[in-house]
Structure 1
Amino acid sequence: MTTNRVANLLRKGESPQRPIFLELFFDLVYVFALTRVVNELVLDYTRGRVAETLTTSLSENGETLLLFLAIWWIWTQTAWMTSRFDPFQPAIQFVVLATMFGSLLLAVAISGALSETGLLFASTYAAIQVGRTLFFVLTMRGHDLRRVNMLALVWFGASAVPWLAGAFAPELTRNLLWLLALAIDYLGGTLGWPVPRLGRSQVSPWAVAGEYLAERYWLLIIVALGETILTAGTAFLHGPIVAERTLALVLLFVTTVLLWRIYFYRAGQILGEAIAASADPGRLGRSAELSHLLMALGIVATSAGSELVLIDPSGHAKPAWVAAMLGGPALYLAGRSVFEHVAFARVSRPRPIGILVLAAIAPVMVGLPPLGVAAAAAAVLLGVAVSDAIRAHGGPLEQASPPR
């Protein structure tokens, strides 16, 4: 490929540094993917031995978490890619749409990835990562990004081995091999894909396109919140429309609104500014990624808890159910605390206080009606949101002040 054609694939400095319709279209498949993850969690929580024993529940959830981390890494790598390349170019559109189709296959395979569809899941994941990276190795000749993709290709090739081997292995061995594969992928991306004698990538995507990536991540949070509403509405229609279930639906909608409010005020609005003002945007960007991973996990767990409430709002909350209904909001607040530190180099006290309150009330919630447990979680989130509003009332909007 000629130098001019290579340059045409890259984003131009004068072009808008924000997502366009292609990226938004790509995100649609993740509504389905997150729904499949939530469905797996609900199946975990409604199995008798899992629901009654928290330690067993954590083991089952760990397997589902492994699948979630795989699709999360695909999304992250795609966001990194579109931050550097021009999504209006047909070649880039092809790569994004091919990744979108692969992500759809991953989502389809989630429900049986730990049994009969394991090979489909593992081979699709490896094909996306290796195939996409190889494409850029072949097309970016003469550009520095070719070297970066060559480094990444070594790591993705290495992780493909345990991914594929795990698909043919017994359950415990498979989980260990897939955990190793994920560790290789995440470690490689975090370290800049170092390879002996070839070095590593020195430039973080956040240093090049912090504003763009900030907007991609808050769009993903919107996708996750949208999935929560979709799950609640679908679960509501699968049962009788009675007063208790209607009240549960209202409560779950309010909970989703509170999660949205807590995210966007105020750090969610100024992440791009914080990255731009940072002396080390790469390090701050990694913290931002971690915070959004924790928040997305919290939203997914909350969504699973919402469906459990709608299944039996007046029954008896089992230990694993309480863990989902209270642990989801707690995990979300933990991620939001990290996010606040990214934007303001501090953490407001209501967030850790909210986490402690959720942890403190969890033991006494076991056996109570799930509707009451959900109400308690919503009350804690409301307290955090109200404290934010009180602190901000009458004062100027707080500006980004990232850690030095």
Structure 2
Amino acid sequence: MVEPGSDRRVREKKSWHRATVLELFFDLVFVFALNRISFRLLEDFHSGGLGFKGFAETLLLFLGLWFMWQTTAALASRVHPDSLPGQFIVFSSMAGATVMAVAVPQGFEQRALVFAGAWVAVRVSRLLLYLLARQVRTGGSPLPGLLSLAGSSVPWIAGALVNDPLLRGGFWAVALAIEFPGFVVGFRQWAGGQVAGEHLAERLQQIFLISLGEAVFVSGRAFSDSDLALPHAMGFALAFVGIVQLWRIYFYRAGLVLPAAITAARDPTRQSVAAAMAHLIMISGVVLAGVGFELYIFEPAGRPEPNWLVAILGGPALFLLGRAPFELQVFGRISRSRLFGLLALGVLIPAAWETPPLVAGAGSTAVLVAVAVADAVRARSRGLEPPATLL
């Protein structure tokens, strides 16, 4: 089936403000990908707690998936995704991301080469597309992308081939360190000064909603697998309220005015990259919070598990930590409720150290509710606030 607009290889400015059906189809892969990340984290927690090594390994895997999504979204903002080159980019990225997600549970162990090989294969396929279809103009020079590909592919594969997990993590950290500046410079050249604020903001909103959907999924699964007793029901109710508060805190109001903020920025490209990095932190927090929801739903009255506080309290804290700079980018200030929320979650750590998981869950949800209420009071007293133009 060929959709309207498939004869256009480059997006027209007037069509930039909406994501296409094909882009939404691509996002479905990341429902599965985030689920695999959550599964790996849960396995670590249930096998004795999440140590620094396990957290670092899962973070590197998550970052690999994130850059797959981010670079594909950036390319789709210039190459019309319904054109043949655009479809190749999207479908090859879907295939690569699916293989990477399948490898995640053992992505730092037996399936490291599968994970790294899928990422490199997608990058190489994009290079071949450029070389075989040079008439497709995506704007700017391919040099940043070529240098990034050449510089990052070697440590990706080298890391997968070594047996030492610490050395593998070092190689992959170097690969990601090369990927990031290559993405930033390449995105600036692809955009060519014309950034589709509505489209980019919508794509970030959609991937954030997918992370919330993953939190709903793991919470519902934990409740479904329980015996549906009152403590489990209380845990599920707390998780549901927490997910609603994550949604409210994100969208009221920075998330809603992000399109206007990018469009009105002095440097829309820089604003777009900064917003993407803030979303990376927020989405990491939501995924980690979702793991915390499952932990205290499934074992609400179990013995105290201090390591679980990394997810139960650390997830909401990481979300607020990303939400603060996001608000700064959009409005040029940070609400005190963000800082108070982080402080309150920190104070809860010693208080929840020797309590059942459900108590810690109730504390984290109460903090999120307080932050959301403070946002509502601020919005009612000050009215609608226009975006700032700092960047």
Relative to the length of structure 2, the TM-score reads: 0.94
Establish whether residue 105 from structure 1 lines up as the match of residue 99 from structure 2.
Answer: yes
Instruction: Report the residue type matching 1:39 in the other structure.
Output: F
Establish whether residue 9 from structure 1 lines up as the match of residue 18 from structure 2.
Answer: no
Counterpart CA distance in 1 for 2:109 and 2:355 is 35
**Residue of 252, 273, 279 corresponding to 1:292:** 279
CA contact (8 A) 1:341 1:402 kept: no
Q: Which residue does 2:77 correspond to in 1?
A: 83
Q: Which residue does 2:168 correspond to in 1?
A: 174
Q: Which residue does 2:246 correspond to in 1?
A: 259
Q: Which residue does 1:40 correspond to in 2?
A: 40
Alignment map for 1:5-404 (pairs within 5 Å):
8-48=8-48, 50=49, 57-141=51-135, 143=137, 145=139, 148-170=141-163, 171-190=165-184, 192=185, 202=189, 204=191, 207-393=194-380, 395-403=382-390
CA contact (8 A) 2:250 2:323 kept: yes
**1:201 positional shift:** 5.5
Q: Alpha-carbon deviations, 1:44-97, whole Å to 9, x = none?
A: 11222x35xxxxx12211110000000000000010011001122133123212
**1:137 positional shift:** 3.6
CA 1:360/1:137 → structure 2, altered by over 3 Å: closer, same or farther?
farther
Counterpart CA distance in 1 for 2:348 and 2:236 is 22
CA contact (8 A) 2:10 2:138 kept: no
Q: Which residue does 1:196 correspond to in 2?
A: none
CA contact (8 A) 1:78 1:96 kept: yes
CA contact (8 A) 1:291 1:335 kept: yes
Counterpart CA distance in 2 for 1:207 and 1:354 is 37
**1:203 positional shift:** 5.8
CA 1:104/1:215 → structure 2, altered by over 3 Å: closer, same or farther?
same
CA contact (8 A) 1:298 1:329 kept: yes
Counterpart CA distance in 2 for 1:206 and 1:254 is 41
Instruction: Report the residue type matching 2:268 in the other structure.
Output: P
CA contact (8 A) 1:295 1:334 kept: yes
Instruction: Report the residue type matching 1:127 in the other structure.
Output: A
Structure 1 gap segments, 5+ residues each:
1-5, 52-56, 194-199
**1:214 positional shift:** 0.7
Q: Alpha-carbon deviations, 1:146-179, whole Å to 9, x = none?
A: x533430221122111111111102121111111
**1:329 positional shift:** 0.4
Structure 1 residue runs of 4 or more that deviate by more than 6 Å after TM superposition: none
Counterpart CA distance in 2 for 1:201 and 1:291 is 18
Counterpart CA distance in 2 for 1:387 and 1:149 is 47
Counterpart CA distance in 2 for 1:143 and 1:314 is 59
SS of 1:9's equivalent in the other structure is coil
Counterpart CA distance in 1 for 2:136 and 2:362 is 59
Counterpart CA distance in 2 for 1:187 and 1:202 is 12
**1:221 positional shift:** 0.5
Instruction: Report the residue type matching 2:252 in the other structure.
Output: Y
> RMSD over aligned Cα, in angstroms?
2.0
CA 1:186/1:317 → structure 2, altered by over 3 Å: closer, same or farther?
farther
Q: Which residue does 2:3 correspond to in 1?
A: none
SS of 1:162's equivalent in the other structure is helix
Q: Which residue does 1:197 correspond to in 2?
A: none
**1:12 positional shift:** 1.4
Counterpart CA distance in 2 for 1:317 and 1:29 is 35
**1:140 positional shift:** 2.9
CA contact (8 A) 1:137 1:149 kept: no
Counterpart CA distance in 1 for 2:222 and 2:192 is 39
SS of 2:301's equivalent in the other structure is coil
Instruction: Report the residue type matching 2:151 in the other structure.
Output: A
Counterpart CA distance in 2 for 1:394 and 1:330 is 26
CA contact (8 A) 2:231 2:301 kept: yes
Identity %: 39
Structure 2 gap segments, 5+ residues each:
1-5
**1:202 positional shift:** 4.4
CA 1:112/1:144 → structure 2, altered by over 3 Å: closer, same or farther?
closer
Counterpart CA distance in 2 for 1:268 and 1:14 is 22
**1:16 positional shift:** 4.7
Counterpart CA distance in 1 for 2:146 and 2:383 is 48
CA contact (8 A) 1:130 1:157 kept: no
CA 1:325/1:142 → structure 2, altered by over 3 Å: closer, same or farther?
closer
Instruction: Report the residue type matching 1:38 in the other structure.
Output: S
Instruction: Report the residue type matching 2:150 in the other structure.
Output: G
Counterpart CA distance in 1 for 2:152 and 2:354 is 44
CA contact (8 A) 1:38 1:300 kept: yes
SS of 1:390's equivalent in the other structure is helix
Counterpart CA distance in 2 for 1:15 and 1:309 is 45
